[in-house]
Amino acid sequence: MTASSTGFTFTDQLARTVVLSAPPSTIVSVVPSQTELLFYLGLEKEIVGITKFCVHPAELCQAKTKVGGTRQLNIELIRQLEPDLIIANKEENDASQIKQLASEFAVWVSDVKTIEDAFDMIYQIGEITARTDAAQGLCRLIQSSFEKVIPFSPKVPVAYLIWRKPYMAAGSDTFINAMLQQFGFRNVFSDKARYPETTISELQALKPQCILLSSEPYPFSQSHVQEIQQAMPATRIVMVDGEIFSWYGSRLLNAAPYFIHLRSLLTSNESG
């Protein structure tokens, strides 16, 4: 951040310059995990608009104006809210809509692919919203919790599926991949970029020890566990909380205890 007689200048994670005349008093957040982070930082009064997918914390999100979906924002409604600041994300939001909003409002955009990116995002949002101490404290708590977890060793070969028909997996250059690595998994799709399509035949050839079925964006269910299990009887198939692996804000506080639970499940003799 740099200060001048005309305001404060920030640089977002796309190296864009964002200028504010003062700390924001009206904020629109169009990224669910970052909305939860803003509430954690104590910005309940400043948040005036969120997406329909922003659901945590539930009791606070219910009272906020919904400005559409993450990729189908209601631009006119956002204009009516007259935000001082819009918090967005490169992957989760539509680039053309963000460009349009940035021509009218201050828009800070995150780009989170690694654990380090997540900490940087938290620090920077704390800075631009004048919640630096709270953001730094949150990062310390997350780092401390991560240090208490013993990752799998040797690493467990795993496939993390996010979609069905066609099956799609988390590959390299994703935050999900970074989280898998953090807790001792070896992503069998780490040699493929982003979210590659896959098939049962390819999964059989890759021979993951475990397949994790995410709760989002596709709502996998127990029937899908059974479907894949029939084709791969020697592979552990487990449904997992997608928010733990893909939400990169204050939800990371839940990651360490969740992994400890998941580790216990995967090392037990119980079925997924």
Encode pLDDT of 87-99 as tens digits. 999 999 999 999 9
At 179-234, the pLDDT tens digits run 999 999 999 999 999 999 999 999 999 999 999 999 999 999 999 999 999 999 99
| Contact (Cβ atoms closer than 8 angstroms) between residue 107 and residue 42 | no
Positions in the chain short of pLDDT 50: 270-272
What's the pLDDT score for residue 270? 46
Query: Alpha-carbon distance 11 to 17, whole Å?
Result: 5
Residue 7 confidence (pLDDT):
77
Q: Give whole-number Cα distances, 238 to 39, 176, 191, 233, in Å.
A: 31, 16, 23, 13
- The pLDDT of residue 88 is 98
